[in-house]
Amino acid sequence: MLTDQLMLTVAIAVARWFELAGIVVVVLGTLLAIGQFALRYAGLLSLAEGMGADLVGAFRKTLGRSILTGLELLVAADIIRTVAVEPTLTNVLILALIVLIRTFLSLSLEVEIEGKWPWRQGVREK
């Protein structure tokens, strides 16, 4: 049977693992983006079709996607910590502010990567 203390310990551990996963995703994504950039610059790796010769654009797209994924994992860790560990009004308000800031960052990165708002993905440009 799960005691309250055991559930709290598990929730804290899970939140930490999500934080670690978010950090690892950002670091590995950055290293991957740098590695791909170097290989493309040296001519050892070709750009994906439709990217032309935009080395910097390909780098930014890979880096931006890794940051987005890392941010999502960090938000998940914050939610777990707030809801399961310390669900006080102050912590919920802090979580709301953190999620708002990270959502703004995510939207900004998405626009930077794709060049259009996420809700405009299916709309054809004229």
Does a structural domain hold residue 25? yes
Does a structural domain hold residue 75? yes
pLDDT at 35: 95
Does a structural domain hold residue 54? yes
Q: Is the pLDDT of residue 102 over 90?
A: no
Question: What CA–CA distances, in Å, run from 88 to 13, 81, 114?
Answer: 19, 11, 38
Give the residue from 39, 81, 31, 33 showing the smallest Cα distance to 58.
33
When pLDDT is averaged across residues 91-115 and rounded to a whole number, the result is 86
Q: Is the pLDDT of residue 123 over 90?
A: no
Q: What is the pLDDT of residues 5-62, one digit of tens each?
A: 898 899 999 999 999 999 999 999 999 999 999 998 888 888 765 555 688 888 988 9
Cα distance between residue 53 and residue 34, in whole Å: 16
Three-state secondary structure string covering the chain: CCCHHHHHHHHHHHHHHHHHHHHHHHHHHHHHHHHHHHHHHCCCCCCCCCCCCCHHHHHHHHHHHHHHHHHHHHHHHHHHHHHHHCCCHHHHHHHHHHHHHHHHHHHHHHHHHHCCCHHHCCCCCC
Does a structural domain hold residue 126? no
pLDDT band of residue 115 (cuts 50, 70, 90) is confident
pLDDT at 105: 87
Q: Is the pLDDT of residue 97 over 70?
A: yes
Domain count, the chain: 1
Does a structural domain hold residue 107? yes
Does a structural domain hold residue 112? yes
Does a structural domain hold residue 125? no
pLDDT band of residue 126 (cuts 50, 70, 90) is low
Q: Which domain holds residue 105?
A: 4-120
